[in-house]
Chain A
Amino acid sequence: MKILMVLMLSASVVPLAAQDPAPPAPTVQPATLMRPTALRPAGGAAVEDKADATEAQLLLRALSRAQRELFARSDAARKKGEPFNEIEADPTPRYRPLFRALADQGDVDALLWCTAHTTPVRPERAGEADDHQATRAAFRKDLAALLDKAQGRHLAAAARTALGHAGETISHEEADRFCEAAIAKDSSSAGGILSSMAGRAMDEPGDAARAKATALYERALGVESDPAAKQRITGRLFALNHLREGMKAPELSGTDFDGKSVKLADYQGRVTFLEFWGFW
Protein backbone atom coordinates (compact mmCIF):
# COMPACT_ATOMS: atom_id res chain seq x y z
CA MET A 1 0.00 0.00 0.00
CA LYS A 2 2.68 2.44 1.10
CA ILE A 3 4.81 1.80 -1.99
CA LEU A 4 1.90 2.44 -4.31
CA MET A 5 1.14 5.81 -2.74
CA VAL A 6 4.76 6.96 -3.08
CA LEU A 7 4.78 5.98 -6.74
CA MET A 8 1.46 7.65 -7.42
CA LEU A 9 2.77 10.91 -6.00
CA SER A 10 6.01 10.79 -7.95
CA ALA A 11 4.20 10.01 -11.20
CA SER A 12 2.40 13.34 -10.82
CA VAL A 13 -0.87 11.79 -11.83
CA VAL A 14 -3.91 13.02 -10.01
CA PRO A 15 -5.73 9.85 -9.03
CA LEU A 16 -8.95 10.05 -10.98
CA ALA A 17 -10.80 8.51 -8.06
CA ALA A 18 -10.31 11.83 -6.30
CA GLN A 19 -12.27 13.66 -9.00
CA ASP A 20 -14.91 11.26 -10.32
CA PRO A 21 -15.89 8.01 -8.68
CA ALA A 22 -14.31 5.29 -10.81
CA PRO A 23 -16.70 2.70 -12.22
CA PRO A 24 -16.63 -0.57 -10.23
CA ALA A 25 -13.56 -2.58 -11.18
CA PRO A 26 -14.29 -5.98 -12.74
CA THR A 27 -14.06 -8.80 -10.21
CA VAL A 28 -12.09 -11.10 -12.47
CA GLN A 29 -8.39 -11.11 -11.66
CA PRO A 30 -5.50 -12.32 -13.77
CA ALA A 31 -4.55 -15.80 -12.65
CA THR A 32 -0.85 -15.34 -13.19
CA LEU A 33 1.47 -12.40 -12.99
CA MET A 34 3.04 -11.30 -16.24
CA ARG A 35 6.64 -10.17 -16.04
CA PRO A 36 7.62 -6.73 -17.40
CA THR A 37 7.92 -7.61 -21.07
CA ALA A 38 4.13 -7.74 -21.20
CA LEU A 39 3.78 -4.22 -19.89
CA ARG A 40 5.20 -2.21 -22.76
CA PRO A 41 2.69 0.31 -24.13
CA ALA A 42 1.13 -0.88 -27.37
CA GLY A 43 3.11 1.51 -29.52
CA GLY A 44 6.33 -0.09 -28.33
CA ALA A 45 7.94 3.33 -27.96
CA ALA A 46 10.15 4.05 -24.95
CA VAL A 47 7.64 5.89 -22.79
CA GLU A 48 10.51 6.99 -20.52
CA ASP A 49 11.79 9.39 -23.17
CA LYS A 50 8.54 11.07 -24.09
CA ALA A 51 8.24 14.52 -22.58
CA ASP A 52 4.57 14.82 -23.46
CA ALA A 53 3.41 11.44 -22.21
CA THR A 54 -0.33 11.05 -21.77
CA GLU A 55 -1.92 10.18 -18.44
CA ALA A 56 -2.32 6.57 -19.54
CA GLN A 57 1.32 6.39 -20.55
CA LEU A 58 2.37 7.79 -17.15
CA LEU A 59 0.20 5.16 -15.48
CA LEU A 60 1.80 2.44 -17.59
CA ARG A 61 5.21 3.71 -16.54
CA ALA A 62 4.25 3.80 -12.87
CA LEU A 63 2.76 0.31 -12.97
CA SER A 64 5.80 -1.00 -14.82
CA ARG A 65 8.07 0.44 -12.13
CA ALA A 66 5.91 -0.99 -9.36
CA GLN A 67 6.05 -4.44 -10.88
CA ARG A 68 9.79 -4.33 -11.50
CA GLU A 69 10.21 -3.48 -7.83
CA LEU A 70 7.91 -6.33 -6.88
CA PHE A 71 9.96 -8.80 -8.90
CA ALA A 72 13.17 -7.49 -7.33
CA ARG A 73 11.68 -8.07 -3.88
CA SER A 74 10.49 -11.50 -4.93
CA ASP A 75 13.92 -12.48 -6.27
CA ALA A 76 15.60 -11.18 -3.12
CA ALA A 77 13.21 -13.18 -0.93
CA ARG A 78 13.81 -16.31 -2.98
CA LYS A 79 17.57 -15.92 -2.59
CA LYS A 80 17.11 -15.75 1.18
CA GLY A 81 14.78 -18.73 1.05
CA GLU A 82 11.92 -16.58 2.32
CA PRO A 83 8.36 -17.00 1.07
CA PHE A 84 6.93 -14.24 -1.17
CA ASN A 85 3.50 -14.23 -2.72
CA GLU A 86 3.77 -12.38 -6.03
CA ILE A 87 0.03 -12.62 -6.72
CA GLU A 88 -0.87 -11.06 -3.38
CA ALA A 89 1.69 -8.27 -3.79
CA ASP A 90 0.68 -7.48 -7.37
CA PRO A 91 -0.15 -3.77 -7.71
CA THR A 92 -2.20 -4.30 -10.90
CA PRO A 93 -5.62 -4.51 -9.18
CA ARG A 94 -5.19 -0.99 -7.79
CA TYR A 95 -4.45 0.35 -11.26
CA ARG A 96 -7.44 -1.29 -12.91
CA PRO A 97 -10.00 1.36 -11.99
CA LEU A 98 -7.62 4.09 -13.18
CA PHE A 99 -7.07 2.49 -16.58
CA ARG A 100 -10.80 1.78 -16.73
CA ALA A 101 -11.60 5.47 -16.24
CA LEU A 102 -9.14 6.54 -18.94
CA ALA A 103 -10.47 3.84 -21.29
CA ASP A 104 -13.99 5.18 -20.76
CA GLN A 105 -12.69 8.54 -21.93
CA GLY A 106 -11.48 6.88 -25.13
CA ASP A 107 -7.74 6.71 -24.47
CA VAL A 108 -6.33 4.07 -26.83
CA ASP A 109 -3.46 2.94 -24.57
CA ALA A 110 -5.91 2.51 -21.69
CA LEU A 111 -8.40 0.65 -23.90
CA LEU A 112 -5.62 -1.68 -25.04
CA TRP A 113 -4.52 -2.23 -21.43
CA CYS A 114 -8.05 -3.06 -20.28
CA THR A 115 -8.68 -5.52 -23.08
CA ALA A 116 -5.23 -7.10 -22.71
CA HIS A 117 -5.83 -7.53 -18.96
CA THR A 118 -9.23 -9.15 -19.30
CA THR A 119 -9.19 -12.74 -18.10
CA PRO A 120 -10.86 -14.80 -20.83
CA VAL A 121 -14.31 -16.06 -19.80
CA ARG A 122 -15.76 -19.30 -21.05
CA PRO A 123 -18.53 -19.36 -23.70
CA GLU A 124 -21.94 -17.87 -22.93
CA ARG A 125 -24.63 -20.05 -21.51
CA ALA A 126 -27.87 -19.52 -19.65
CA GLY A 127 -27.62 -18.63 -15.98
CA GLU A 128 -24.04 -17.45 -16.22
CA ALA A 129 -22.51 -15.44 -13.41
CA ASP A 130 -23.19 -11.69 -13.49
CA ASP A 131 -19.58 -10.68 -13.48
CA HIS A 132 -18.88 -12.85 -16.54
CA GLN A 133 -21.65 -11.04 -18.38
CA ALA A 134 -20.23 -7.71 -17.25
CA THR A 135 -16.72 -8.72 -18.33
CA ARG A 136 -17.99 -9.81 -21.72
CA ALA A 137 -19.99 -6.60 -22.21
CA ALA A 138 -17.05 -4.40 -21.21
CA PHE A 139 -14.71 -6.30 -23.53
CA ARG A 140 -17.04 -5.92 -26.49
CA LYS A 141 -17.53 -2.22 -25.75
CA ASP A 142 -13.77 -1.67 -25.54
CA LEU A 143 -13.20 -3.49 -28.83
CA ALA A 144 -15.81 -1.26 -30.50
CA ALA A 145 -14.06 1.83 -29.09
CA LEU A 146 -10.70 0.55 -30.33
CA LEU A 147 -12.10 -0.05 -33.79
CA ASP A 148 -13.27 3.56 -33.75
CA LYS A 149 -10.18 5.21 -32.29
CA ALA A 150 -7.13 3.04 -32.87
CA GLN A 151 -5.00 2.69 -35.98
CA GLY A 152 -1.73 1.19 -37.18
CA ARG A 153 0.12 -0.87 -34.56
CA HIS A 154 -2.52 -0.14 -31.92
CA LEU A 155 -5.23 -1.53 -34.14
CA ALA A 156 -3.10 -4.60 -34.87
CA ALA A 157 -2.59 -5.09 -31.12
CA ALA A 158 -6.34 -4.85 -30.57
CA ALA A 159 -6.88 -7.47 -33.27
CA ARG A 160 -4.40 -9.82 -31.57
CA THR A 161 -6.22 -9.38 -28.26
CA ALA A 162 -9.57 -10.08 -29.92
CA LEU A 163 -8.14 -13.27 -31.46
CA GLY A 164 -6.78 -14.30 -28.07
CA HIS A 165 -10.33 -14.30 -26.74
CA ALA A 166 -11.88 -16.04 -29.74
CA GLY A 167 -13.99 -18.97 -28.64
CA GLU A 168 -14.12 -17.66 -25.07
CA THR A 169 -15.05 -14.09 -24.15
CA ILE A 170 -16.17 -13.56 -27.74
CA SER A 171 -16.96 -16.02 -30.51
CA HIS A 172 -14.59 -16.93 -33.34
CA GLU A 173 -16.91 -15.14 -35.74
CA GLU A 174 -16.87 -11.95 -33.66
CA ALA A 175 -13.08 -12.01 -33.50
CA ASP A 176 -12.84 -12.52 -37.27
CA ARG A 177 -15.37 -9.72 -37.88
CA PHE A 178 -13.31 -7.39 -35.72
CA CYS A 179 -10.13 -8.27 -37.65
CA GLU A 180 -11.80 -7.79 -41.03
CA ALA A 181 -13.20 -4.42 -39.91
CA ALA A 182 -9.75 -3.40 -38.68
CA ILE A 183 -8.22 -4.36 -42.04
CA ALA A 184 -10.91 -2.43 -43.91
CA LYS A 185 -10.24 0.61 -41.73
CA ASP A 186 -6.46 0.59 -41.94
CA SER A 187 -4.82 -1.39 -44.72
CA SER A 188 -1.32 -0.70 -43.34
CA SER A 189 -1.89 -3.30 -40.61
CA ALA A 190 -3.55 -5.82 -42.92
CA GLY A 191 -0.53 -8.11 -43.33
CA GLY A 192 0.08 -8.40 -39.60
CA ILE A 193 -3.60 -8.88 -38.74
CA LEU A 194 -4.09 -11.53 -41.43
CA SER A 195 -1.00 -13.40 -40.13
CA SER A 196 -2.38 -13.24 -36.60
CA MET A 197 -5.73 -14.59 -37.86
CA ALA A 198 -3.93 -17.42 -39.63
CA GLY A 199 -1.95 -18.25 -36.50
CA ARG A 200 -5.15 -18.37 -34.47
CA ALA A 201 -6.82 -20.59 -37.07
CA MET A 202 -3.97 -23.07 -36.67
CA ASP A 203 -4.78 -23.46 -32.98
CA GLU A 204 -7.77 -25.53 -34.07
CA PRO A 205 -7.18 -29.03 -35.45
CA GLY A 206 -8.28 -30.43 -38.79
CA ASP A 207 -8.25 -29.81 -42.49
CA ALA A 208 -10.78 -26.96 -42.46
CA ALA A 209 -8.61 -25.00 -40.02
CA ARG A 210 -5.57 -25.60 -42.18
CA ALA A 211 -7.39 -24.47 -45.31
CA LYS A 212 -8.54 -21.33 -43.49
CA ALA A 213 -5.00 -20.59 -42.28
CA THR A 214 -3.55 -21.14 -45.76
CA ALA A 215 -6.06 -18.75 -47.32
CA LEU A 216 -5.30 -16.13 -44.66
CA TYR A 217 -1.52 -16.45 -45.09
CA GLU A 218 -1.93 -16.11 -48.85
CA ARG A 219 -4.01 -12.96 -48.40
CA ALA A 220 -1.32 -11.66 -46.03
CA LEU A 221 1.37 -12.28 -48.66
CA GLY A 222 -0.71 -10.33 -51.15
CA VAL A 223 -0.85 -7.19 -48.99
CA GLU A 224 2.39 -7.37 -47.01
CA SER A 225 5.20 -5.08 -48.17
CA ASP A 226 7.86 -5.79 -45.53
CA PRO A 227 10.30 -8.41 -46.96
CA ALA A 228 11.11 -9.94 -43.56
CA ALA A 229 7.41 -10.38 -42.81
CA LYS A 230 6.86 -11.90 -46.26
CA GLN A 231 9.66 -14.38 -45.59
CA ARG A 232 8.11 -15.41 -42.26
CA ILE A 233 4.69 -15.89 -43.84
CA THR A 234 6.17 -17.91 -46.72
CA GLY A 235 7.92 -20.13 -44.17
CA ARG A 236 4.69 -20.72 -42.26
CA LEU A 237 2.86 -21.60 -45.47
CA PHE A 238 5.64 -24.03 -46.31
CA ALA A 239 5.34 -25.67 -42.90
CA LEU A 240 1.55 -25.84 -43.18
CA ASN A 241 1.62 -27.49 -46.58
CA HIS A 242 4.83 -29.57 -46.58
CA LEU A 243 5.86 -30.37 -43.02
CA ARG A 244 2.93 -32.45 -41.83
CA GLU A 245 2.91 -35.97 -40.47
CA GLY A 246 2.60 -38.45 -43.31
CA MET A 247 4.39 -36.21 -45.82
CA LYS A 248 7.78 -36.87 -47.36
CA ALA A 249 10.33 -34.60 -45.69
CA PRO A 250 11.47 -31.88 -48.12
CA GLU A 251 15.10 -31.55 -49.17
CA LEU A 252 17.26 -29.88 -46.59
CA SER A 253 20.91 -29.02 -46.98
CA GLY A 254 23.47 -26.66 -45.57
CA THR A 255 26.89 -26.60 -43.93
CA ASP A 256 28.09 -27.67 -40.51
CA PHE A 257 30.27 -25.73 -38.06
CA ASP A 258 33.30 -26.47 -40.25
CA GLY A 259 31.65 -25.45 -43.49
CA LYS A 260 31.25 -29.04 -44.63
CA SER A 261 28.14 -29.89 -46.66
CA VAL A 262 25.37 -31.77 -44.83
CA LYS A 263 22.18 -33.06 -46.48
CA LEU A 264 19.05 -34.64 -44.99
CA ALA A 265 19.02 -36.93 -48.04
CA ASP A 266 22.20 -38.59 -46.68
CA TYR A 267 20.05 -39.99 -43.86
CA GLN A 268 17.70 -41.95 -46.12
CA GLY A 269 17.34 -45.47 -44.74
CA ARG A 270 17.80 -44.31 -41.14
CA VAL A 271 15.21 -43.20 -38.59
CA THR A 272 16.17 -39.55 -38.17
CA PHE A 273 15.34 -37.03 -35.49
CA LEU A 274 15.74 -33.61 -37.10
CA GLU A 275 15.86 -30.96 -34.41
CA PHE A 276 15.96 -27.14 -34.63
CA TRP A 277 17.65 -26.01 -31.41
CA GLY A 278 20.21 -23.77 -29.68
CA PHE A 279 22.16 -23.49 -26.43
CA TRP A 280 20.68 -19.98 -25.93
Chain B
Amino acid sequence: MGEIPHLKALVQRHESAGFSVLGVNTDSDLAKAKARCAESGIGWANLYDGKTKEICNAWGVSGFPTAFLIDRQGVIRKTFLGIDPKELDAAVEALMNEK
Protein backbone atom coordinates (compact mmCIF):
# COMPACT_ATOMS: atom_id res chain seq x y z
CA MET B 1 0.00 0.00 0.00
CA GLY B 2 3.01 2.31 0.25
CA GLU B 3 2.96 2.58 -3.50
CA ILE B 4 -0.41 4.38 -3.57
CA PRO B 5 0.90 7.98 -3.70
CA HIS B 6 3.26 6.96 -6.48
CA LEU B 7 0.49 5.38 -8.50
CA LYS B 8 -1.68 8.46 -8.02
CA ALA B 9 1.14 10.61 -9.39
CA LEU B 10 1.52 8.32 -12.40
CA VAL B 11 -2.21 8.48 -13.11
CA GLN B 12 -2.21 12.25 -12.82
CA ARG B 13 0.75 12.48 -15.19
CA HIS B 14 -0.29 9.98 -17.88
CA GLU B 15 -4.03 9.41 -17.63
CA SER B 16 -5.01 11.81 -20.41
CA ALA B 17 -2.54 10.10 -22.75
CA GLY B 18 -4.14 6.71 -22.08
CA PHE B 19 -2.76 5.28 -18.84
CA SER B 20 -4.86 3.48 -16.22
CA VAL B 21 -4.39 1.61 -12.99
CA LEU B 22 -6.66 -1.38 -12.29
CA GLY B 23 -6.44 -2.83 -8.80
CA VAL B 24 -7.33 -6.26 -7.44
CA ASN B 25 -8.01 -5.59 -3.78
CA THR B 26 -7.45 -8.39 -1.27
CA ASP B 27 -8.60 -6.83 2.02
CA SER B 28 -10.93 -9.13 3.94
CA ASP B 29 -13.36 -6.35 4.92
CA LEU B 30 -14.99 -4.92 1.78
CA ALA B 31 -16.65 -1.94 3.47
CA LYS B 32 -13.42 -0.87 5.19
CA ALA B 33 -11.42 -1.28 2.00
CA LYS B 34 -13.94 0.77 0.03
CA ALA B 35 -13.84 3.52 2.66
CA ARG B 36 -10.05 3.59 2.81
CA CYS B 37 -9.83 3.77 -0.96
CA ALA B 38 -12.07 6.84 -0.89
CA GLU B 39 -10.02 8.38 1.95
CA SER B 40 -6.78 7.72 0.08
CA GLY B 41 -8.13 9.43 -3.02
CA ILE B 42 -7.89 6.28 -5.13
CA GLY B 43 -9.82 7.12 -8.26
CA TRP B 44 -9.23 3.94 -10.22
CA ALA B 45 -11.37 0.80 -10.34
CA ASN B 46 -10.69 -2.15 -8.07
CA LEU B 47 -11.82 -5.71 -8.55
CA TYR B 48 -12.71 -7.00 -5.11
CA ASP B 49 -11.08 -10.35 -4.31
CA GLY B 50 -10.79 -10.16 -0.55
CA LYS B 51 -13.50 -12.67 0.30
CA THR B 52 -12.66 -15.74 -1.77
CA LYS B 53 -9.20 -14.81 -3.17
CA GLU B 54 -10.49 -16.54 -6.33
CA ILE B 55 -8.59 -14.24 -8.68
CA CYS B 56 -5.37 -14.38 -6.66
CA ASN B 57 -5.52 -18.18 -6.60
CA ALA B 58 -6.32 -18.46 -10.30
CA TRP B 59 -3.40 -16.19 -11.20
CA GLY B 60 -1.01 -17.86 -8.74
CA VAL B 61 -0.50 -14.63 -6.82
CA SER B 62 0.88 -15.18 -3.32
CA GLY B 63 3.20 -12.22 -2.73
CA PHE B 64 1.94 -8.64 -2.51
CA PRO B 65 2.00 -6.36 -4.27
CA THR B 66 2.20 -8.35 -7.52
CA ALA B 67 1.62 -6.33 -10.66
CA PHE B 68 1.54 -6.54 -14.44
CA LEU B 69 2.21 -3.64 -16.79
CA ILE B 70 0.15 -4.22 -19.94
CA ASP B 71 0.52 -2.32 -23.22
CA ARG B 72 -2.22 -0.90 -25.44
CA GLN B 73 -2.45 -4.18 -27.35
CA GLY B 74 -3.08 -6.11 -24.13
CA VAL B 75 0.38 -7.69 -23.99
CA ILE B 76 2.11 -8.11 -20.61
CA ARG B 77 5.33 -6.11 -20.90
CA LYS B 78 6.62 -6.21 -17.33
CA THR B 79 5.85 -8.19 -14.16
CA PHE B 80 6.43 -6.91 -10.65
CA LEU B 81 6.81 -8.65 -7.32
CA GLY B 82 7.18 -5.64 -5.08
CA ILE B 83 7.32 -2.30 -6.86
CA ASP B 84 10.48 -0.30 -7.45
CA PRO B 85 9.21 3.25 -8.16
CA LYS B 86 12.06 4.14 -10.54
CA GLU B 87 11.63 0.92 -12.50
CA LEU B 88 7.91 1.50 -12.74
CA ASP B 89 8.32 5.12 -13.90
CA ALA B 90 10.77 4.11 -16.60
CA ALA B 91 8.59 1.24 -17.79
CA VAL B 92 5.43 3.37 -17.96
CA GLU B 93 7.33 6.17 -19.69
CA ALA B 94 8.62 3.74 -22.33
CA LEU B 95 5.17 2.28 -23.03
CA MET B 96 3.50 5.69 -23.20
CA ASN B 97 6.07 6.69 -25.84
CA GLU B 98 5.32 3.64 -27.99
CA LYS B 99 2.98 4.10 -30.91
Contact = CB atoms under 8 A, between A and B. Distances in A.
A238 B24 contact: no
- A245, A262, A268, A272: residue with the most chain B Cβ atoms closer than 10 Å: A272
Given A252-B47, A257-B48, A276-B26, A239 B20 contact: no
Contact of A254 (B33, B49, B73, B92): B49
Interface stretch (A39-47, A145-153, A229-237): A229-237
Contacts of A246: 75-77
A278 B46 contact: no
Contact of A249 (B45, B49, B68, B80): B68
Given A245-B76, A256-B46, A271 B27 contact: no
B18 A277 contact: no
Given A272-B20, A275-B65, A276-B24, A235 B76 contact: no
B79 to A, nearest CB: 6
Interface in B59-90: 59-62, 64-80, 83, 88
Contacts of A275: 3, 7, 21-24, 65-68, 80, 83
Given A240-B60, A243-B76, A252-B55, A272 B33 contact: no
A18 B69 CA distance: 62
Interface of B is mostly: mixed
Contacts of B76: 243-249
B74 A268 contact: yes
Contacts of A243: 59-60, 68, 76, 79
B50 A278 contact: yes
Nearest to B50: A278
Nearest to B49: A254
Interface of A is mostly: mixed
Nearest to A237: B60
Contacts of A279: 1, 27, 32-33, 36
A255 interface: yes
Contacts of B55: 252, 254, 276
A269 interface: yes
Nearest to A240: B60
Contact of B74 (A249, A262, A280): A249
A278 B25 contact: yes
A276 B26 CA distance: 7
Given A236-B60, A272-B21, A278-B50, 17 more contacts: A232-B57, A232-B62, A245-B79, A246-B77, A247-B75, A247-B76, A249-B74, A252-B55, A252-B59, A257-B33, A268-B74, A271-B19, A274-B67, A275-B67, A276-B67, A279-B27, A280-B27
27 contacts: A232-B62, A243-B60, A243-B76, A247-B76, A249-B68, A254-B54, A254-B55, A256-B47, A256-B48, A257-B25, A257-B30, A257-B33, A258-B34, A262-B47, A265-B74, A268-B73, A270-B72, A271-B92, A271-B96, A272-B21, A274-B68, A276-B26, A276-B66, A276-B67, A277-B25, A277-B26, A278-B64
Interface of A: 231-232, 234-240, 243-249, 252-258, 262, 264-265, 267-280
